[in-house]
Amino acid sequence: MTVCHGSNPYTGETGHFYERDGVYYPSVTTILDAESPPEETAVIERWKRRTKNWRAIQKKSQIVGTMGHFRVLNSLADKTIELPDIPVSEYPDDLLYLTDIVECMWNQSGLSARLKYPRRIETTLISDKYRFAGKPDLRAPVVCEDGVTRLAIIDLKTSPRVYDSYIYQLAAYGLMMEESPVHGTFPEIGMVINLCPYEDKNPGLEPKIREFAQGTLLDYADKFKKMAETYHARFGDPIAEKSE
Q: What is the DSSP string of 30-45?
A: HHHHHT--HHHHHHHH
> Each residue of 99-116: pLDDT tens digit?
999 999 999 999 999 999
What is the pLDDT confidence band of residue 43, given thresholds at 50, 70 and 90?
Answer: confident
Is pLDDT larger for residue 141 or for residue 7? 141
pLDDT of residue 178: 98
Residue 238 Cα distances to 3, 90, 130, 186, angstroms: 15, 34, 10, 24
What is the pLDDT confidence band of residue 36, given thresholds at 50, 70 and 90?
Answer: confident
Residues 50, 42 contacting (CB under 8 angstroms): no
Q: Is the pLDDT of residue 237 over 80?
A: no
Q: Is the pLDDT of residue 38 over 60?
A: yes
Give the domain ranges of the chain: 2-235
> Each residue of 207-227: pLDDT tens digit?
999 999 999 999 999 999 999
DSSP state of 140: E
What is the pLDDT confidence band of residue 144, given thresholds at 50, 70 and 90?
Answer: very high
Q: Is the pLDDT of residue 194 over 70?
A: yes
> Each residue of 59-86: pLDDT tens digit?
999 999 999 999 999 999 999 999 999 9
The overall average pLDDT reported for the chain is 93
Residues 164, 191 contacting (CB under 8 angstroms): no
Q: By C-alpha distance, which of 176, 179, 181 is closest to 153?
A: 176
H or E segment and range at residue 98: helix 95-109
Is the domain 2-235 a CATH 3.90.320 member?
Answer: yes
